[in-house]
A and B are shown apart, each in its own frame.
Chain A
């Protein structure tokens, strides 16, 4: 279908289990993704939710081809990425950008903010008017121009995450992977970053895969959602449908476990299950 940016079918991925590696010889393979099928529509935010160990980050990393799948196919914008080598991938990488969870460790401490945002531009040879492009990128994420000369330790956590977003959007990519990008932030900062993302999606028509364990955030931001558990997709659909009427008991239990900021003495009462 033309309106899907990603089509992923039968995706399996195994990694070596280093905890069971013999001293000599190869580590046994452990299957992290066990057959994943889903599509990412254009100009929309797709949520990928699940608990730790469900494989949501591995799936994200396979999509941007930081990992190579064992089986199945990943078709991105009509192009089969599944087994492309690093040199073949390079021209496409500018369209597959990432925003990371921890903006502290994902920003180079020895470079200025301007130089960090300019790095992807330089990589792809967009060196004309580079200062102008950096200015524009700072503007877009609501950071003052004076930040261009600062270093990562001179700005707050929320501002760092804005830099991460500015860098990811510098090349106007057709796809952005956002892996737990608000989970390290305070609620007040988180609200700012979510509001910013919502505005950017509206203005730029971004296509985002938003990996998160926080279902309230996903309900807020994403048009559609996939729920992962143990390397498989348990449930997928429009966010509204999945939340209002979950079909699977696992999805139900995930939603029920969210503590809403409303006092409720019964919430902690032992239930029948």
Chain B
């Protein structure tokens, strides 16, 4: 081993070390601890009784919990699809803006993050409730006679999730579209492709890694979100995030909460594996 590589390794360790240590101590250990709860029993006041068993897993597979898991996936997927439909054109348009306007547009995309998420969600209840701003406006304009039940529906939950996580869809797609060489588009036009064909066969495939990343960025937190279903769903739609939260904070059943959380983690790991396959495949194609 030469001194140069040894020096590089030392530098690498020095740069990576603190981050790795932090992740190991404050992320990996607590997660493993919580995962270990899944095979134990609940204590009377919360906490754990160390009696080994797999009861929590059979309970998590009961129809009620299965249906909550399925409906959470459907809700999160709907939010992701809508965020993609809105977010892709926005990201594409921003990437095509002149340099100066691009940074302004990007700041506008992230501005909502400057306000607390809970407050923004709560503001939606003011907007959507039967006595709220939107209903007042519609009635005032004479467009409707009966006030609409917009709030406390599954639609309101999906809308809230889209609103909250849309920037997480826009940013990665923007990054992948902005990175594209414009000459690729010109080349496809020179070779006789229409603008649509050029988009579908050149731009879209090359931006897919950004699309997949954006979808995961939206889907993952949507699945675990419990504030939006509670505030905009009125507690009538339960998502798996609510179940996990309630097991820990209301039911004092940590082992079962940990088991439900484990199901979500496994589902997410599968998604991440999928993402890495997709992005590898398309970045290889790009290089070819």
A binds B: no
